[in-house]
Amino acid sequence: MSRDADLPISHWSRLWLYCFGALILFFLIAPSVIVVVMSFSGSSFLQFPPQSWSLRWYTRYFESMEWREATGVSLKVAIMTTLVATPLGSAAAYAVNLKTLRYGNVALAVLVSAIIIPVILIGIGVFFLYARLGLNNTFTGLVIAHTALALPLVVMTVLAGLRSYDMDQERAARSLGATPLRAFIEVTMPQISLSIIAASLFAFITSFDEVVVSFFTSGGDMSTLSRRMFTSLRDEIDPTIAAISTCLIILSVILLSVAHLVGASRTRES
C-alpha cells in the first residue's frame, strides 16, 4: 500500500508508456515471427498467413547441394573471421587502453571508422581493390573484408572490458616475476574473458550475417549463404529462405544464450 503511495506516477497514468513499449516490442519481434511462421508453409511461395502447413522447405534446404555449400562457405568464413578479428581487435584494444601510445586515440578512431562509413561504399571499394589484387571470389578476400567489418565491434567490446579492469593487477603480476605475456595470460585475460567471448560472438555474427560486401566480392563457389539468399529472393520467391532464416534465428538465439549463461555463472562466482 505504502509502495503505491511512494510512486510519483500511478500505473494508470503511465498506461501510454506501456502501450508505447509494447508497440516497439511488436515491431522488433513481428518480422521474425512472420518469417518463422511462413517457413512452415505448405504452399510454394512466400505467403502470410500460410494456407497449409509442411516441413518440406526444411527438407529442401538440407537436401540442396547448393544451399549446403553456401552454408559451408559462410561457416568457414565466419569462423576464420572470428579467429583473426578477435585476437587482432583484442590486441588493439589493449594497446589503446595503455594510454602510453602517443597516437592511441587516432589509432582508435581509424580502427572504429568502418562503423560510420556506409557499407555499400565499403563494398564498392573492396570490389575495386580486390579486382586489382585478384581477391574477388576468394576465401581470403572474404575473411579480410569481414575482419575489417568486425574489428570495430571487437575493439569496442574488449575496450569496455579493459576499462573496468584494474591495470595495477597486471603490474602487480609483473613485479611478482611474471613476464608481460604471462601476466596478460594468467591475470588479465581470465578477467576480461567475458568481453573477449562477447567480442568473438559479435565477430562471428557480423561475418555470418553480412550481405553487402559479400554481394560485391563473393560469387560462384564462394557464394556465402546470405548472398545466395539475397539472389534467390530475387529469382524464385520460395519459402526455403524462410526455413533458412529460421535456422539462423535459432543459431543466434543459441549463441546469445550461451554467452548469457557463461556471463551469469561468472558473475555469480565473483
Partner 1 sequence: MSTLGAALPIRIRGIEKKYGPVTILQRLDLDVAAGEFLTLLGPSGSGKTTLLMILAGFVRPDAGSIKIGGDEIIAAPPHRRNIGMVFQNYALFPHMSVSQNIAFPLRQRRVPAADIVRRVTSALEMVRLNGYGERRINQLSGGQRQRVALARAMVFEPRIVLMDEPLSALDKGLREHMQLELRDLHRSLGMTTIYVTHDQREAITMSDRIAVMNGGAIEQIDRPEALYAHPRTHFVASFIGESSFIPVDIRDGVPWFRDAKLQTTARTSSSGRYLMSVRPEKVRLAAAGGDDGINILAGVMGDVIYQGDSFACSIDIGDGVKLTMRDYCREDTMARLPARGESIRVSIAASDAILVEAG
- Residue numbers of the site for partner 1 (CB under 8 A)? 166, 168-169, 171-180, 182-183, 186-187, 190-191, 270
Question: Cβ of residue 105: shortest distance to partner 1, in angstroms?
Answer: 16
Least distance between partner 1 and beta carbon 94 (Å):
16
Distance in Å, CB of 161 to partner 1, minimum: 14
Q: How far is the CB of 186 from partner 1 (least distance, A)?
A: 8
DSSP string, 27-74: HHHHHHHHHHHHHTBSSSS--SS-SSB-SHHHHHHHH-HHHHHHHHHH
- Smaller CB separation from partner 1, 55 or 189: 189
CB of 162 to partner 1, least distance (A): 15
Nearer to partner 1, 163 or 182 (CB): 182
Burial 121-154 (b: 16+ CB within 10 A, else e): ebbeebbeebeeeebbeeeebbbbbbbbbbbbbb
Give 51 or 270: the residue with its C-beta nearer to partner 1.
270
Task: Give the SS3 label for residue 116.
Answer: coil
Could you tell me the smallest distance in angstroms from the CB atom of residue 115 to partner 1? 32
Choice between 177 and 220, CB closer to partner 1: 177
Residues whose CB falls within 8 Å of the CB of residue 86, separated by 6 or more in sequence, listed in order: 154, 196, 199, 200, 203
Helical ranges in the chain per DSSP H: 2-6, 15-39, 56-63, 65-98, 104-112, 119-133, 139-163, 168-175, 180-183, 189-209, 212-217, 225-235, 240-269
Round to whole Å and give the CA distance between 249 and 242. Answer: 10
For partner 1, give the closer residue by CB, 167 or 249. Answer: 167
Closest CB to partner 1 among 9 and 176?
176
